[in-house]
Amino acid sequence: MLELSNVSNPPTSEVHFENLNLTLQRGVVNVLLGPTLSGKTPLMRLMAGLDPCVKGTLSIDGADVTGTSVQKRNVAMVYQQFINYPSLSVYENIASPLRIAGFELAEIDNRVQQAAGLLKLTPYLESLPSNLSGGQQQRTAIARAIVKGADLVLMDEPLGNLDYKLREELRYELPRIIEQSNAIFVYATTEPSEALLLNGNTVTLNNGQVTQNGPTMDVYNYPSSLSSLQTFSDPPVNHIQVNKEGSHFCVGGVPVIPVAAAHSTLADGRYNLALRPYHGSLEPQGFGQVALSMHLSSSEFTGSESFVHVDFFGAHWNFIAGGEITALVGEQMTIYVNPADFFIFNEAGLPLANLEPEA
């Protein structure tokens, strides 16, 4: 287990953390999810010991490693860019940290063979990295990271430079690799879809703040703040500020969205409403939906579905629709939504009407 207690990094860092608390477990993938400059890489550098911890403590399995240099920590890192020794075979690339550490030849061979089998690299052990696909090169980098039995493996957007097919392949394989290695794995990404596919624990980050941490599906379904919901939404979540006046949420005094029965006990006042893009449709889909009038800003057809961008009382909203959209830009269109699907937050962005996950 990795524990960060009231940790702060240097104030001159690209993204500054102040009194940060975080606990990450072994045997599951711990995803750091956030946009660029949210603090993912600086946080990983703190964990690795590459940047100093100016306040607080960092411990692994109860042992304080706060002041321990990176050279003396049992840490491995995998980067977005494949980093392999071009003149060494796959076998020698994987074996390199073991040779540096002075392991005996028999132990080196045993560990390399195990790691190669885990990463499906056994047929390529005599190949040079230049003869491998991008996915095989990244597997080699991952094998080198885990072969020495590191307590902590840090993966900084490791699939970012792979094509779509290779990313999908490695995304499905990583949970198996992580479970079998029993290391503390930390995986940084900007993509909510990666966090969902890896399905371990997710930490959402925003401007150097941890906004939520927990099992991935709990973080996704029960956001603890508007910021956490926005971080875990792709396409972006639809958001608008409203006033609750009796049975409706109003914008500029105009009744816009009926208040769902589950939210009827909310006091009148100002709120933030948020709706995920897949919670809207161009045709009525079931009981309880209401029709909202919007104006089309643009649409993007992907071949099977369209991303529909609309203007809703001055807010830019977007929805996912099946097929191609025939409406013209500026044309009025109707989107059907269920008021019960809205997330409701107070003015500070904290949830009010959302259900809590079951214990």
d(CA 160, CA 258): 42
Q: What is the pLDDT of residue 149?
A: 79
pLDDT digits (tens, 9 = 90+) for 255-282: 999 999 888 889 999 999 999 999 999 8
CA dihedral sign of residues 247, 250, 254, 255: negative
* pLDDT band per the 50, 70, 90 thresholds, residue 180: confident
DSSP state of 149: -
Looking at residue 294, its pLDDT comes to 94
Please provide the average confidence, as pLDDT, over all residues in the chain. 89
pTM value is 0.86
Q: Residue 359 has what pLDDT? A: 37
Residue-wise pLDDT for 4-13, tens only, equals 999 998 888 8
Q: Looking at 20-24, 122-126, 157-161, 342-346, which range is the least confident one?
A: 157-161
How sure is the predictor about 77, in pLDDT bands with cuts at 50, 70 and 90?
Answer: confident
CATH numbers and ranges of domains, the chain: 2-224 (3.40.50.300), 238-345 (2.40.50.140)
d(CA 141, CA 43): 21
74-102 average pLDDT score = 88
For residues 238 and 10, which has the higher predicted lDDT (pLDDT)?
238
Query: CA–CA distance from 342 to each of 225, 229, 272, 278, 315 (Å)?
Result: 13, 12, 10, 12, 15
Mean pLDDT computed over 1-30: 91
Q: Tell me what the mean pLDDT of segment 332-343 comes to.
A: 93
Mean pLDDT over 102-119 rounds to: 91
Residue 296: both structure tokens together = 């089309």
pLDDT tens-digit series, residues 191-202: 999 999 888 999
Place of tokens 């906004």: 211
Tokens (6 digits) for 290: 């209401």
Triad 165, 170, 172: Cα angle to 5° = 100
Percent of all residues in the chain with a pLDDT value above 70, rounded to a whole number: 97
Tell whether the model's pLDDT for residue 51 goes beyond 50. Answer: yes
Residue 171 has pLDDT above 80, yes or no: no
In the predicted model, is pLDDT for residue 283 greater than 90? no
Cα dist from 84 to 6, 129, 150, 355, whole Å? 36, 7, 18, 47
Q: What is the mean pLDDT of residues 15-43?
A: 92
Closest to 22 measured CA to CA, from 189, 179, 214, 232: 214
* φ and ψ of 196, to 5 deg: -65, -40
Residue, of 323 and 53, whose pLDDT is higher: 53
Give the sign of the dihedral formed by CA 82, CA 83, CA 89, CA 90: negative
Question: In the prediction, which pLDDT does 23 show?
Answer: 95
The yes-or-no verdict on residue 311 having pLDDT over 50 is yes
